[in-house]
Amino acid sequence: MRDEILTYIEMCGRESLSLQKGMNFFPPPRPSVVLMSQRAGSPYDDELSEDGTLLLYEGHDVRRTAGVDPKRVDQPWESSPGHPSENGKFAAAANDLDPPLVRVYEKLKPGIWTDRGLFKLVGSDFVHKPTEGRKVFKFRLLVTETESATSPFSFPSEHMRVIPSWVKQEVFKRDEGRCVLCGSTDQLHFDHELPFSRGGVSVLPENIRILCARHNLQKGARIE
């Protein structure tokens, strides 16, 4: 669920997968999975638009081996001769007439992640990266307004309530990773204090807080 806060173990359980790779391609209809980070020191340059709707996701490097610096060689199209790498699988899928869905998880801190929701893989480029003197993949992913791979797909409207990365980082630190109403650390979500439907904004930390599932549901019931 978009804006849910998960431990690494919970995230792996949700996907029924040991997420040791940052890129995990699955043939549709199952959504693929990518892990991203905009924290200082992150190994890849992932870029999320200010409104959180467009993700420019950098492909992944070759494995580090003796005498090979992964940051000095082009990112691989193949994992072995005749077998596409995850980069290659995503690049091929980006050319499909029906763009595949991708579930995006963002790292908040070691062991703690947030579900950014489902995105559509709408483009791919293999471009020169001047700062490293090599070629890397750049995948373009556009957030959807659906929460399920079986729901009708639609591109985001101007009213999308996506919470930017920097806001989530600041709120998680401020609220100390706990529900602000009961102190619970389980089943947490980022919540709009003034609901988006009533004019609340996503770009101000003052309007975002952490709630547990119970208090999130109670709030929803009161609003209805």
34, 38, 39, 43 alpha-carbon torsion, rounded to 10°: 60
SS3 35: strand
> CA 174 to CA 121: how far, in whole Å?
33
> CA 39 to CA 53: how far, in whole Å?
18
Given the structure tokens 């995230």, which residue do they identify? 11
Residues 211 and 188 sit within 8 Å (Cβ to Cβ): yes
Domain boundaries in the chain? 14-158, 167-223
| Tens digit of each residue's pLDDT (9 = 90 or more) over 16-68 | 999 999 999 999 999 999 999 999 899 999 998 877 889 999 999 998 888 89
Tokens of 62: 């070759």
| Tens digit of each residue's pLDDT (9 = 90 or more) over 134-170 | 999 999 999 997 665 555 555 555 445 688 889 999 9
- Sheet strands (E) in 60-171: 78-80, 83-84, 101-109, 112-129, 134-143
Tokens of 84: 């596409």
Class (C level, CATH) for 14-158: mainly beta
For β-strands 32-36 and 101-109, DSSP reports them as: parallel
CA atoms lying within 13 Å on the CB side of residue 96: 14
| Res 148: pLDDT | 59
Q: In which band, very low, low, confident or very high, does the pLDDT at 113 lie, cut at 50, 70 and 90?
A: very high
CA 167-53-9 angle, to 5 degrees, is 65
Query: From residue 20, how far is each of 58, 110, 155, 215 by CA, in Å?
Result: 17, 14, 30, 32
- Name residue 135's amino acid: K
| Res 151: pLDDT | 55
| Tens digit of each residue's pLDDT (9 = 90 or more) over 168-219 | 999 999 999 999 999 999 999 999 998 877 788 888 999 999 999 999 888 7
| Stated pTM of the model | 0.86
For β-strands 208-212 and 78-80, DSSP reports them as: unpaired
